[in-house]
Amino acid sequence: MTPAFFGSFSNHAIAFASVVYALALLAHVAEWAMSRKVPVRATSQAQRAAEQRAAQPVPVGSGAPADPGAAPVVPPEAEPDDREFSIDRFGRIGVALTVVACLIHLSAVVTRGLASDPARVPWGNMYEFTMAGTFGVTVMYLLLLRRYQLRWMGLMVTAFEVVVLMCAVLFLYEPAGPLVPALHSYWLMIHVTAAILASGAFAVGALASALYLVKDRAERRGTVRSSGYLARLPETSILDRAAYRVHAFGFPIWTFAALVAGPIWAEYAWGSYWNWDPKEVWAFITWVVYAAYLHARATAGWKGRTAAIIALIGFATLMFNFVGINYFFGAGSMHSYAGG
Amino acid sequence: MRTTEQQTGAGGASTTPPTPPPAPPTLSPLELARWAWRQLTSMRTALVLLFLLALAAIPGSIVPQENIASADVANFQAAHPTLTPIYEKLGLFSVYDSVWFSAIYLLLMISLVGCIVPRLRVYWRGMRARPPRTPRHLGRLPVSRSFTVEEQPAVVLERARAALRKRRFRVSVDTSPSAAADSVAAERGYLREAGNLLFHVSVLVVLVGFAIGQLFGYKGGVITVVGQGFSNSLSQYDEFSPGSLFQPSNLPPLSFTVKNFHVHYLTSGPQAGQPTDFSAELDYQSAPGEPVQKDRLMVNHPLQIDGADVFLVGHGYAPRVTVRDGRGNIAYQGPVVFLPQDASFESFGVIKVPDAAPQQLGFEGLFLPTYGFTMARGPFSRFPAALKPVMTLLAYHGDLGMDSGRPQSVYDLDKSQMRLFKLPSGRPDRLDMAVGQTKQLPGGGSIRFDGVDHWVKLQISNAPGKGIALAGVLLGILGLLGSLFVRPRRTWVRARREDGRTLVEVAGLDRSAGGDLEGEVDELCRAVEDAAPART
């Protein structure tokens, strides 16, 4: 099998993965569309937690303990309700399709790496970084799905994947080829992998924070209906905690990517570990904003809404670094080979 | 910086609103200083300063910076004559050395110290204190269980102690005579605050390491034509930016000769013309009298010797020319560095011949490594390798202005006192030459294109303190992991005799959200129970 074969395989796989993501999106849309007419059971989180405790005094399962607020899950003892059942079924279909799409996505990323001679890590330019970064988002979502009951996020995640992959194919595509000499380093593997993982975590965290803001606003205005997407989102406290967890996971990785691996590589490649290169500056800005987020969450008067807004600002700086710097200031940046 | 617990406590400056009461009592200087200190070290101020730092870093990524891309600064200043004085006043051409940027991060550091020091004290006391005493009503805690066993309380408590120790709790046995009950109090997760403190201290460590590099380090660039040598002294550099406390005597006595340069380009496929690798071979001596050693410089593979690192940061072409003046004498012979303008290595350069007589000569034009021509584009370079090298120059005669005392760039021809050689038709006389060709100049004299050399741009730099900075960041990540993922937890076990049996109460309290407290309390129950359960 030749590199050219892998190259075209990768291109087809990306298209195919996008289609499956779109199908998963449709399934989640159906899930939420149906739920518009079905009111959420009135049991509040506290009640349900109390019920659970009463029902099973032995340790609550080790995997997913005290997060019963993920509303869409139908309690097993509930009376059979066709609507609830089909809502849940569509949700499950959505997740299953996302898993399939994720596997195809993985194959696209791997074959993209094999498509150049010699084979290399598949993130040497912006198209490849987008492809790998969106893969990071899906992986992050699927990994945390069970643990933090994130199925309510499926709609957003699949929509994000479809849109971003489409943009990548339309605007960023470049044929596979060898790396420029500046990227001939194992730090490419370390630095960019860490950046992809952290970006994936921050993207998922930003989704949670955005939904938190939307639901929080609706709650304060009293416009949350008894049915529909917002009603079925977990409570704001759980959204907030999920956002924090994901950010807390991403922040040390980002610190490593931007402030350890990046400078070490820069020291080898450019002769100075910190050059105030636009990309470095913006990575630093992102780091500072997320540091502010972590602090804000522990400060009276800033936690909740303000912290969530800070998290979104952080994600905006991350996106600007990725898109803005590459397109507007690419010429002045030593990271310009990362551009198109 | 402070957490909520600290803030709601006695020292919480930030819980009080920043606006003063309507009739503020007059503050003594000491009180004022204390008030200012509280304000500065409050979390709110720290957050605002963090945002200011992020905002202040932005202009440096948009406006070209003097110490990073001085050529871009010059271009920008030429293109924006009205903005330039304003930008200069604001220090926008060197944001990261500017007063306002320094002010922000220094305030942030003061705020950081002001927050670390009291917390270190609190932590020190907390570390030495015993776990908090058992609350009277364990049933009111977030998670609690109770059951009865046959054994004596002492046995149960001993078992609880062992179980808690095994779970890496710090344990203290509470035998206060006032209550007729014995209990065990335990706490875990001291590392969270330790990590938090470590993270904040390491920010300071990184800054110290960075500052050492900025103050004592240096960074110089030199363009060396292959075959030529370099010895490490200030006069040899094309550009040099020392730290403010750098001494020229700190330059290590390094010297080297560039023996060779190799570059390979992709010749086919969509990315044809992209370099696949390039490298330069050096013969170097770390000091005069030391043995000559060989090294192969590549991108990502610098030469590292004590006190200096040598990096290959760029390359280009230096066409060799021979210029004869109007009297037929050789006025110049040798390579001239041309600067690449784009990825095709179409290069621009200037040849100055001050020794030419009767008039000085100057040339300006392009070097095209692989000549191509279309009517629409004119001459251009098809490929970056020197496959079909051609020079296309305009020739000038007159006064180069090199004696005026004003410093001149070697890449810039001062044409104010130079006149272009023109054809009889009045059009400029463009000299197109392949290797080996000679062109006669209208006023006598000639130029010959002898061949093509490569040049390499080398950066020689040293940043002391980088080990400190790296250690700081790594410690910071370690601390971060501790502060984000260690969960402080308190548990209590109380056992007392009641109706001939021992009533055991177990309770837990998490000091951070999201842990599996129930699971741990249940497991603890099982460990304490040991015998068959008789739950109530």
> Which residues 415-434 of B have a C-beta within 8 angstroms of A?
none
Nearest to B50 among A184, A185, A292 (CB): A292
Reported confidence tier of residue B66, pLDDT bands at 50, 70, 90: confident
Q: How many CB atoms lie within 10 A of CB B267?
A: 11
Distances (CA, A) of A331 to A254, A275, A326, B68, B336: 25, 15, 8, 13, 26
**pLDDT at B168 (0 to 100):** 86
ipTM associated with this complex? 0.78
Split at pLDDT 50, 70, 90, the class of A40 is low
Beta strands in B336-381 (DSSP E): 339-340, 347-353, 360-368, 371-374, 378-381
Weakest mean pLDDT among A180-189, A212-221, B389-398: A180-189
Nearest to B134 by CA among B164, B101, B103, B94: B164
Q: Is the pLDDT of residue B488 over 50?
A: yes
Question: Quick one: residue A68, left, alpha or beta (phi over 0 = left, psi -120 to 50 = alpha)?
Answer: alpha
Q: Does the structure show a pLDDT above 70 at B518? A: yes
Q: pLDDT digit string (tens) for A188-202?
A: 889 988 998 899 899
**A-interface mutation test, from B61, B214, B506, most A Cβ less than 10 A away:** B61
Q: What are phi and psi of A172, to 5 degrees?
A: -110, -5
Indicate yes or no: CB of B477 within 8 angstroms of CB of A177: no
**Mean pLDDT score, A237-263:** 91
Q: What pLDDT, on a 0 to 100 scale, did the predictor assign at position B24?
A: 60
Q: Are B432 and A242 a contacting pair, CB within 8 Å?
A: no
Chain B CB contacts of A263 below 8 Å: 469-470, 473
Q: Which residue has the higher pLDDT, B268 or A169?
A: A169
Pair A156, A211: CB distance under 8 Å: yes
Position B141, amino acid: L
Q: Which of A255, A263, A302 sits opposite B477 (nearest CB)?
A: A255
Task: Look up tokens 């995997």; give the residue.
Answer: A63
Taking an 8 Å cut-off on Cβ atoms, the answer to whether B277 and A184 are in contact is: yes
Contact list, B300 vs chain A (CB under 8 Å): 181-182, 184-185, 187, 265, 268-269
Q: Determine which of A183, A265, A267 to mutate to test the interface with B (most B C-beta atoms within 10 Å).
A: A267
Q: DSSP letter for A79, please.
A: P
If you average pLDDT over residues B58-76, what whole number do you get? 80
Containing H/E element for A29? Answer: helix A3-35
A280: number of Cβ within 10 Å: 24
Query: Using 50, 70 and 90 to split pLDDT, how confident is the model at A53?
Result: very low
Chain position carrying tokens 């000569």: B361
B265 to chain A, closest Cα gap in Å: 10
Residue B87: both structure tokens together: 């930008």
**pLDDT tier for residue A210 given thresholds of 50, 70 and 90:** very high
Determine the residue type at B489.
Answer: R
Asked if A279 and A335 touch (Cβ cutoff 8 Å), the reply is yes
Residues B520, B167: Cα–Cα separation, whole Å: 9
CB-closest option in B47, B300, B519 to A292: B47
Whose CA is closest to A137, among A209, A212, A206, A199? A199
pLDDT of residue A301: 75
The amino acid present at B511, given as its one-letter code, is R
pTM of the model: 0.81
Q: What is the pLDDT of residue B272?
A: 79
CA nearest B279: which of B257, B256, B259?
B259
Closest chain A C-alpha to B91 CA, distance in angstroms: 15
- Distances in Å between the alpha carbon of A19 and those of A87, A214, B222? 22, 29, 53
| Residue range A40-69: mean pLDDT, rounded | 44
Q: Which of A58, A268, A302 sits opposite B302 (nearest CB)?
A: A268
Summarize pLDDT for A256-272 with one digit per residue, the tens.
999 999 999 888 887 78
CA nearest A242 in B: which residue? B514
Cβ-in-10-Å burial (0-12, 13-18, 19+) of B534 comes to exposed
Mutate to test the interface with B, among A236, A285, A294, A297 (most CBs of B within 10 A): A285
Q: Cβ-count burial of B375 within 10 angstroms (0-12 exposed, 13-18 middle, 19+ buried)?
A: exposed
Beta carbons within 8 Å of B74's beta carbon, 6+ residues apart: none
Contact call for B461 and A271, based on CB within 8 A: yes
- The residue that leads in pLDDT, A46 or B240, is B240
Distance CA A261, CA A255 (A): 9
The answer for B 235-294 residues in CB contact with A (under 8 A) is 266, 269-271, 274-278
CB contacts, 8 Å: B69 with chain A: 332
Q: What is the CB neighbour count within 10 angstroms for residue A270?
A: 20
Beta bridge partners of A117: none
Run of H or E including B255:
strand B255-265
pLDDT over 90 (residue B333): yes
Structure tokens at B63: 């406006």
Residue B1: the pLDDT is: 42
- Quick check: B281 pLDDT over 90? yes
Handedness of CA A123, A126, A132, A136 (dihedral sign): positive
Nearest CA-CA distance, residue B184 and chain A, Å: 22
Find residues 309-348 of chain B whose CB sits inside 8 Å of chain A. Answer: 309, 311, 313
Q: Name the residue of chain A whose CA is nearest to B218's CA.
A: A272
Q: Is the pLDDT of residue B108 over 80?
A: yes
* A242-252 b/e (C-beta count within 10 Å ≥ 16 → b): bbbbbbbbbbb
Which residue has tokens 């003097």? B66
Say whether pLDDT at B100 is over 50: yes
Q: Judge whether residue B175 has pLDDT over 60.
A: no
Indicate the residue of A62, A303, A332 with minimum beta-carbon distance to B72.
A332
Q: Is the pLDDT of residue A44 over 50?
A: no
Amino acid A170 reads: L
Mean pLDDT of A114-128: 82
Provide the pLDDT for residue A332: 56
CB B319 within 8 A of CB B449: yes
Q: For the residues A114-143, what does the mean pLDDT come to?
A: 86
Of B54, B60, B463, the CB nearest to A276: B60
Among partner residues B3, B47, B518, which is closest to A66 by beta-carbon distance? B518
Helices (H) and strands (E) in chain B, counts: 10, 24
Q: Which residues contact A275 (CB under 8 A, 6 or more apart)?
A: A266, A334, B68
Q: Three-state DSSP class for B452?
A: strand
Contacts of B189 (CB under 8 A, 6+ apart): B486, B487, B488, B489, B511, B512
The reply to whether residue A252 touches residue B480, judged by beta carbons under 8 angstroms, is yes
Distance from CA of A86 to the nearest CA of B (A): 31
Contact residues, chain A, for B474 at CB < 8 Å: 260
Q: CA–CA separation, A128 vs A23, rounded Å?
A: 23
Q: How far apart are CA B351 and CA B435, in angstroms?
A: 16
Specify the higher pLDDT residue, A144 or A108: A108
| Residue A60 reports pLDDT greater than 80 | no
- Residues of B within 8 A of A284 (CB-CB) are 57
Q: Which of B200, B212, B300 to mutate to test the interface with A (most CBs of A within 10 A)?
A: B300
Q: Is the pLDDT of residue B532 over 50?
A: no
Rounded-to-integer distance, Cα B446 and Cα B330, Å: 9
pLDDT at position B392:
92
Return the higher-pLDDT residue of A339 and B435.
B435
Burial of B120 (0-12, 13-18, 19+ CB in 10 A): middle
Q: Is pLDDT above 70 for A49?
A: no
Q: In what order do the strands lie in the sheet with B143-149?
A: B143-149, B501-510, B489-498, B182-188, B170-174
User: Tokens 């609350």, residue?
Assistant: B135
Measured CA to CA, the distance from residue B404 to residue B10 in angstroms comes to 72
How far off is chain A from B415, nearest CA to CA, in Å?
29
Of B195, B186, B194, B193, nearest to B509 by C-alpha is B186
Q: Which of A271-275, B63-67, B295-299, B467-471 has the highest mean pLDDT?
A: B467-471
Question: What's the average model confidence in pLDDT over B374-382?
Answer: 87
Paired strand residues for B303: B310
pLDDT of residue A329: 63
Q: For chain B, what's the residue count?
A: 536
Give the CA-trace dihedral at B122, B125, B128, B134, to 10 degrees: -80
The SS3 call for residue A326 is helix
CB contact under 8 A, A178 and B466: no
Say which range, A67-71, B452-456, B462-466, has the weakest mean pLDDT. A67-71
